Structure 1
Amino acid sequence: MDSISKELLENLHKAQKAKAKKQARMRVQVGENSYPVLDYSGTGFALDIEDAPHLRGLVDLYAGPNHLYECLIVASEADGPLMRYDFKRATAATDKAPLDYARDPDAPVALLPR
């Protein structure tokens, strides 16, 4: 069996990585920078080790344009071409401010003019 040249193998890995980044549906936003999420689980996510810095702290997690979570993360481990990050906290993002009181379920929705 013929062996594959090192150059061809490197180009194949680069093409696979580019395809994975292009197909990534989730991304992590850190300030002005955005990184595609290549692997996601309920306890954390993984980014390309070459592109992602050693992130730590507060980040935002998006699925397309939808803001899913505000996360507090810590770098976990390097896993081959991926850098894994674990959630310390992942709070679901909402488009409404939290209420300071318990809302009465029978409260009127709107007032009608007389």
Structure 2
Amino acid sequence: MSEFLPKEVREGLEQARLRDAKFVSRLRVHSGGEVFRILKMTDDGFTLDGEKGLRGFVEIYEGNRPISQCLIVRADSDGDEVRYIFKRRTPIRDRAALDFAEPDNKPAGLLSRH
């Protein structure tokens, strides 16, 4: 269908899609005091709009909550979008790591007798 539309209409639709993606996404990349919105996130990387010159260690946040620490490299660009891939991605946990194995049948809670 897009090949039947005039070039100006296709470009306008693409700009509107990029603009909407910026406002919908709660995911952000923090790198050296700078913050960038993530347009698309996949298991092996993410996409930002425009050339940011990111490389190395970054942190990914969902809103105000950090979700992972990553080492990234620039993969390729497609128009105004630049794709970065993860060399390493470590999830950030909300509690300390356990130094013992939890039993499979541990109780979910404690009911009082009263």
Residue of structure 1 in register with 2:24 after alignment: 23
Number of the residue aligned with 1:39: 40
1:90 is aligned with what amino acid? R
Q: Distance in 2 between matches of 1:79 and 1:98?
A: 40
Query: Are residues 79 and 104 of structure 1, via their aligned partners in 2, closer, same or farther at CA, if it must alter by over 3 Å?
Result: closer
Runs of 4+ residues deviating >2 angstroms: 2-6, 8-16, 94-99, 102-105
Question: Which structure 2 residues correspond to residues 1-114 of structure 1 after superposition, within 5 A?
Answer: 4=6, 6=8, 10-48=11-49, 50=50, 52-96=51-95, 102-103=99-100
Identity of aligned residues (%): 35
- The CA RMSD over aligned residues, in Å, is 2.6
Task: Give 1:80 deviation, angstroms.
Answer: 2.8
TM-score of the superposition, structure 2-length normalised?
Answer: 0.71
Q: Where in structure 1 are there 5+ consecutive unaligned residues?
A: 106-114
Alpha-carbon distance in structure 2 between the residues aligned to 1:71 and 1:30 = 10
Counterpart of 1:18 in 2: which secondary structure? helix
Number of aligned positions between the proteins: 99
Note the C-alpha offset of 1:28: 0.5
CA deviation profile, 1:50-87 (whole Å, cap 9, x unmatched): 2x412110000011121000000000111232101010
